[in-house]
Amino acid sequence: MTKSQSSIPKDKLMWMYETMVLIRRFEEQAKREADSGRILGTHSAIGEEATPTGICVHLDDNDYVLGNHRSHHHCIAKGVDINEMMAELLGKVTGTNRGKGGTMHIADATKGMLGANGVVGSNIPVATGCALAAKVQGRDNVSVVFFGDGASSQGSLHEAMNLASIWSLPVLFVCENNRYAESTPFEYAIAGQSVANRAAGYGMPGVTVDGQNVIEVYEVAEEAVARARKGDGPTLIEAFTYRYHGHFGADNPLGYRTPEEQKHYKDKDCIKTMEQFLIESGTA
């Protein structure tokens, strides 16, 4: 963990641990349902629990989150009811969107979860528009948009970052860089091998963080959210993380990732790391 870990309130530390475990258990059940054929089109976020957890701990129901095709963890971290989410995945009328949104389009406006979106990069301008609305209306709401390394090369991101910086909008652009856009390594597609470095061209802070370490994410997000609420503008956060399973249910990651690589990242599991810290520090 980090040198300032002791300054984080115990209730927030426990909330983050419990939220990551809840996401993991939900995703494991969703995968079982998908493997049985009851759910179609799922994109598992197992392994990526720390990033949205460390960010959403700083948000409340009045703040906005916009997700992408892999967004169950965003929804849970933002407080969406897991029973309603599972019902939505199963196409039931008791789901968050009466069974019509499915796995990639979950939304709950009462929690500030304005929707996941299956179209890569299309959520970014929407989140920026939410931030603009908050500023025009004189509210201190913060807008957060999650996207992957694949979406980072979409023009929508660059247009949105430019306007967000010009207008000092309260938005966090969060790139969950899980190192593969489907099967394409990010090194093959991102010039300079960094998304965060692009922030300099738009006059905003660009930060890289270990997306497997919820404490580090917490600290980076704390500063970025505070900056946005004060009216000081946007931040681009690149969180390096790792998905344990394929891009989607039928994808076999062994076609492009070695067993050694997968073991390396699983040994750095975000939940195990946090659990060890809580025990060793006497927090739990």
- Residues of the chain falling short of pLDDT 70: 1-6, 251
> Which structure tokens are listed for 227?
């900056």
**Region of residue 98 (phi > 0: left; psi between -120 and 50: alpha; otherwise: beta):** left
pLDDT of residue 252: 79
DSSP string, 252-263: -GGGTS-HHHHH
- Cα separation values, 121 from 17, 160, 284, Å: 29, 10, 39
Residue 196 and residue 258 in contact, taking contact as beta carbons nearer than 8 Å: no
Residue of 220, 205, 247 lying closest to 48 (CA atoms)? 247
Give pTM, 2 decimals: 0.94
Q: In which element (H, E) is residue 277 found? A: helix 270-280
pLDDT for the residue 183: 83
Q: What is the pLDDT of residue 40?
A: 85
Residue 28 is predicted with a pLDDT of 96
The per-residue pLDDT for 249 is 74
Is residue 130 within 8 Å of residue 115, measured between CB atoms? no
pLDDT at 3: 44
Class of domain 5-280: alpha beta
Q: What is the pLDDT of residue 2?
A: 52
